[in-house]
């Protein structure tokens, strides 16, 4: 499920493109022949159309590029930015403008290089930082690595003393989005609140704030925040979806179903019908997953019940600081193996897998079985003493 809405910057959504790799000089005597390399090069990546000549209209190439960007004329902007960076290869502003134009033209890989070059020249260049932050945190497909880069660039931008006041909310908004995706909801809430203090009607910041409140288990505040977004044309589906989740936690299943169905109607791609098994079917799937574990893991689970549950309970979510996300797929309760139990519960260790959250994390029953397996391995990792960072590094995030 994608939660990334439109973002009111001058940067557009990016696609992907491949970098053309030149033939190796050691490939043999035929490597220099155009006939020999043309088929391979054609298969490797499409050759971009040649840029039109820069028409600066009485300005410098860089100023012309910035004007063309403001006008939404991205091929012309790229042409002038390319000329500006050729004339002044040490100009961070020229490379940042080139990155923005490339991003708008969906030439993502080249945009990454352009921004990298701008920031290699001037690590504190505001437009370069903002463009790079937006590229990694918003435009590229979400991943931990991209979100971490986006957050780093945005936070660096916020720390620059020379950043203009109008750029501060933009940096804060990108930071909020990246931090929410990284599960750092408290920090995301701070950044979204900074935006709203300056731009009270910023719907994207209002959504990030609502999401952070939900992740922090501040459910009453989250419910009020999402209720204010149900009429928003771009975020209404996500608002209905989260209201449905919140009402489920209150046991108001009929009302919850109404909001979830509304979310599906407004955005069927983001909110497809989940492959939800019955409670009995889910218990059977969990039992099969446990039986399929390696022998050493099954031995570690001796005396540790693996329970099929509906949703995480409030007391589990609020048992530590910061709280756990209401959307967690599973939970290990108790101390790791080798550490003493405190004697307050019997058994003192257990694993829970959550039927509704798991079903909503996938699109098919086959994916559900695989996600049950991965979640179970994650919780066994906690049983063995691994933390979330170690598990993420092993692909068990």
The CATH number of whichever domain residue 151 belongs to comes to 1.25.40.10
82 and 153 in a single domain? The answer is: yes
Summarize the confidence of residues 371-396 as an average pLDDT: 87
Q: Is residue 234 part of a domain?
A: yes
* pLDDT computed for residue 270 by the predictor: 95
Q: Is residue 31 part of a domain?
A: no
252 and 288 in a single domain? The answer is: no
Q: Is residue 10 part of a domain?
A: no
Q: Is residue 8 part of a domain?
A: no
186 and 226 in a single domain? The answer is: no
CA 220 to chain CA centroid, nearest Å:
25
164 and 295 in a single domain? The answer is: no
Q: Residue 44 — very low, low, confident or very high, per pLDDT cuts 50/70/90? A: low
Q: Residue 323 — very low, low, confident or very high, per pLDDT cuts 50/70/90? A: very high
Kindly report, residue by residue over 220-248, the tens digit of the pLDDT: 999 999 999 999 999 999 999 999 999 99
260 and 288 in a single domain? The answer is: no
Q: Is residue 1 part of a domain?
A: no
pLDDT beyond 90 at 214: yes
Q: Is residue 251 part of a domain?
A: yes
* Nearest residue to 380 (alpha-carbon basis) of 319, 337, 317, 344: 337
pLDDT beyond 90 at 30: no
* pLDDT computed for residue 47 by the predictor: 67
Kindly report, residue by residue over 287-311, the tens digit of the pLDDT: 999 999 999 999 999 999 999 999 9
257 and 292 in a single domain? The answer is: no
pTM: 0.83
Summarize the confidence of residues 120-142 as an average pLDDT: 96
Summarize the confidence of residues 335-349 as an average pLDDT: 84
pLDDT beyond 70 at 6: no
371 and 260 in a single domain? The answer is: no
Domain residue limits at 172: 48-193+204-209
Which CATH number covers residue 377?
A: 3.30.2010.20
**Domain count along the chain:** 3
Phi and psi of 350, rounded to 5°?
A: -160, 160
The edge-to-edge listing of strands for the beta sheet with 330-333 is 306-309, 350-354, 330-333
Q: Is residue 34 part of a domain?
A: no
Q: Residue 388 — very low, low, confident or very high, per pLDDT cuts 50/70/90? A: confident
DSSP H helices, the chain, are 34-44, 61-71, 74-87, 92-104, 108-121, 126-134, 144-159, 168-181, 185-198, 203-215, 219-227, 236-249, 253-266, 279-291, 295-300, 314-317, 355-360, 365-383, 388-393
Summarize the confidence of residues 172-181 as an average pLDDT: 97
pLDDT beyond 60 at 52: yes
Q: Is residue 198 part of a domain?
A: no
Summarize the confidence of residues 154-165 as an average pLDDT: 91
pLDDT beyond 60 at 28: no
74 and 182 in a single domain? The answer is: yes
175 and 236 in a single domain? The answer is: no
* pLDDT computed for residue 207 by the predictor: 98
Least confident piece of the model among 23-37, 183-197, 228-242? 23-37
362-392 burial, b for 16+ CB within 10 Å, e for fewer? Answer: beeeeebbebbbbbbbbbbbbbeebeeeebe
Distances (CA, A) of 42 to 19, 20, 35, 47, 50: 12, 9, 11, 8, 16
* pLDDT computed for residue 346 by the predictor: 77
* pLDDT computed for residue 298 by the predictor: 95
pLDDT beyond 80 at 103: yes
226 and 113 in a single domain? The answer is: no
57 and 160 in a single domain? The answer is: yes
187 and 67 in a single domain? The answer is: yes
Q: Residue 23 — very low, low, confident or very high, per pLDDT cuts 50/70/90? A: very low
Q: From the CB of residue 146, how many other CB atoms can be counted at a distance below 10 Å?
A: 18
* pLDDT computed for residue 396 by the predictor: 73
């Amino acid at each position: 499920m994608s939660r990334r809405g439109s973002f009111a910057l001058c940067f557009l959504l990016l696609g992907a493109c491949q970098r053309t790799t030149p033939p190796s000089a050691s490939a043999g005597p035929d490597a220099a022949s155009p006939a020999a390399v043309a088929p391979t090069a054609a298969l490797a990546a499409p050759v971009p159309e040649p840029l039109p000549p820069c028409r600066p209209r009485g300005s410098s190439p860089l100023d012309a590029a910035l004007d063309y960007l403001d006008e939404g004329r991205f091929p012309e902007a790229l042409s002038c930015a390319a000329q500006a960076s050729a004339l002044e290869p040490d100009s961070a502003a020229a490379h940042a403008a080139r990155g923005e134009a490339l991003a708008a033209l969906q030439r993502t890989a080249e945009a990454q290089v352009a921004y990298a070059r701008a920031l290699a020249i001037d690590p504190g260049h505001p437009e370069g930082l903002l463009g790079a932050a937006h590229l990694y945190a918003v435009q590229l497909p979400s991943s931990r690595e991209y979100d971490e880069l986006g957050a780093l660039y945005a936070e660096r931008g916020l720390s620059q003393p020379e950043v203009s006041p109008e750029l501060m909310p933009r940096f804060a908004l990108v930071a909020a989005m990246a931090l929410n995706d990284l599960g750092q909801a408290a920090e995301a809430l701070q950044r979204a609140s900074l935006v709203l203090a300056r731009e009270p009607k910023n719907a994207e910041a209002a959504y990030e704030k609502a999401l952070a409140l939900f992740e922090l288990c501040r459910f009453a505040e989250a419910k009020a925040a999402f209720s204010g977004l149900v009429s928003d044309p771009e975020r209404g589906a996500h608002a209905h979806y989260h209201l449905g989740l919140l009402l489920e936690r209150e046991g108001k299943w009929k009302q919850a179903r109404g909001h979830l169905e509304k979310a599906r109607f407004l955005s069927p791609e983001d909110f497809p019908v989940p492959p939800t098994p019955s409670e009995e079917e889910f218990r059977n799937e969990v039992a099969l997953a446990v039986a399929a574990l390696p022998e050493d893991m099954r031995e570690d689970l001796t005396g540790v019940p693996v329970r099929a549950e509906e949703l995480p309970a409030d007391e589990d979510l609020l048992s530590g600081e910061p709280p756990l996300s209401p959307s967690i797929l599973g939970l290990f309760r108790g101390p790791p193996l080798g550490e003493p139990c405190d004697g307050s519960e019997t058994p003192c260790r257990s694993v829970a897998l959550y039927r509704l959250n798991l079903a909503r994390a996938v699109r098919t029953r086959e994916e559900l079985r695989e996600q049950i397996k991965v979640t179970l391995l994650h919780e066994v990792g906690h049983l063995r003493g691994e933390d979330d960072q170690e598990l993420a590094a092993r692909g068990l995030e």
